[in-house]
Structure 1
Amino acid sequence: MAIRRGPRSGLPLIIAVHSRALGPAVGGCRLRRYGSWREGLADALRLSEAMTFKCAASGLDFGGGKSVIALDEHSALTPGLRAAALADMGEFIASFEGSYRAGPDVGTTPEDMVVLRRACPYVFCLPEEHGGTGTSSTPTATGVLAALRAGAEHVLGSSSLTGRTVVVSGFGSVGSRIAAGLAADGARVLVSDVDTAKRETAVGAGFGWLEPHEVPGTRADVLVPAAVGGVLGPETVARLDVRLVVGPANNQLTTDSTADLLAKQNIVWVPDFVASAGGVVFTLGRECDGCTQEEAVRRVLGIGDTVRLLLDRSRTNGTTPLHEARALAERRLGPPATA
């Protein structure tokens, strides 16, 4: 882990590398507001660990990392400050000499990756016109839908979602794509977002709308957490009236023990680091392994097979899906290094 203040922007920059046991660390570059830079550091550490398990469970020969540009609650993010911060982060990433490689994340875009690329070659997901694969939102949503169908087969007895009620919490670039895919499958889709300006778009697309506080108590077959992490804790879980939880939000559980609470309520939770891997699987397949578009999509759809394996093992062994997913990842990672 390394921290520095950007020489141009003056903003705190953080790069956390959790593991390089399987290969170079990969993880998005996040630009968001925090109460303090220490909150940004905690975010980077949590997310880098999640990336390690995401890559390992997906069979990727990469480790986990994350970079954060920590904007305080009062600074205005002007175009000039944004450009300066990205230039600072590009040089910071370059100093890792390829042991950490970045892509877009919350607050950054494929166009921002072009700015990072000016300072270093270790950047993914540039726009297609710049030789990259562009946004990872579509393959991420594709992977979640594959995980969701596998989970529905296990929990509801059929992978078909026709007539099922699904709540999508978070109507951003990934959540909106998941909602559209579910509706195309015949599901009744209810969506929610803290940004109430999205309500008109959601309702216009044919989705029902829930206020964020209504989500936990709404009866549905499936809940899809598609916004920020840390949304599933004891109080929230106690209010849930669903049978399956699967979504792209990272670090959904407030603590790992929440997985046991979900199991006690007969709610099957598909670990986020498995369900959300479509973007990294697709991107690395295309940009590192030279896969065709079709082959990379097939790899993403393989997330469904992984979910079936984990849920079968969970049922057979009397464990949680989280336990089985971590065991799968840890078998690839090998024993922890000793001092």
Structure 2
Amino acid sequence: MSSGLGLYGSLGRDSAFRQFSVWVCLIEGEIFEKACNTVARRSYETSPRASQMTSIDIRQMPRRAGSVPAVVVLTAVVWLICCLVPVSVKAVEHIRIAAPDLPGASGEGGTGRDAEIVDQVLNLCGYQAEFVVQPFGRHLRTYREQQNYDAAMTVPLAANLAGAGTAAYIWYQNGAYYDSSRTGPIRSIEDLSDLHLVTFKNGVELLELNEIVPDIASVLEIADQRVHSKLLFLKRVDAILADGLIIAEINRRLANDQQFSPNFDPHAALRFSPIFPPSPYKMVFRDSLIAEEFDRCYDAARKDGVIADINERHLGPFQHELRHGYLGF
């Protein structure tokens, strides 16, 4: 919203400003004498008829008798400032987002690759994101059941949520994470035969492992992905089937955990193999106009290299394990 002349709009900004500046100067006389001379001179010098005018001396202008309440003068000065410096004011709107707890991707305070992309895109649109983090899946139920959430992030493209969905804004890369010093190599789904595996909840269905399940020695579905890495390092499973960045971040945290770090094998050669296709996700907003804005701002951020920079910043530290197999980064 632009502040401006209001009722004086029909006069034109310069005309109304000149008339009003002279009126204020007449009210206060000598108190604003120097300032008024400067303002009036500036106003007349920028006029198309400036060449036909001479400078103004406030002392030669007639003054009104009596005093004027300070509040009137203050109001007049504020009005003048608005005329001189037109500004565009837009209140920053907060967007409350149901977000999943995914280490390295989405965490408390808007940390992680996924959350940072959402935050930067919304910021580019003029919004401020507020992330409320919950276990993956529950964050979608929360959005469905509680109307005080404005959006949900990391929503599968096929998911049907009330509101307006965006185009895919992020991709996750599931694959096999294993210790190549005792397992592998794993280059395809067929290489999972005779292995003991662990994956996330509903992973067998989502990763379409049903056809090869009979050839797999065993497969566990565990919602807490922190347990996956512990099982791998304790040699209870041969490989983890999940997102490579999430596993890498969990491994980093466990390595710094004084209680668990003794279980790390210094000779382990951790590797990630992207044997599954990337999984795209969308945002869902209750307000369709904000969803459209998000898509436009995302395209702008991508063209400016913002999205690529975020991906590189989060994936770069783990390339010795990911080996540039995560989405090609």
Do Structure 1 and Structure 2 share a fold, with TM-score over 0.5? no
- TM-score range (shorter-chain normalised) is 0.3 to 0.5
Normalising by structure 2, we get a TM-score of 0.37
* Structure (1 or 2) with the larger CA radius of gyration: 2
Q: Which has the higher contact order (CA 8 A, sep 6+)?
A: 2
Output the TM-score relative to the length of structure 1: 0.36
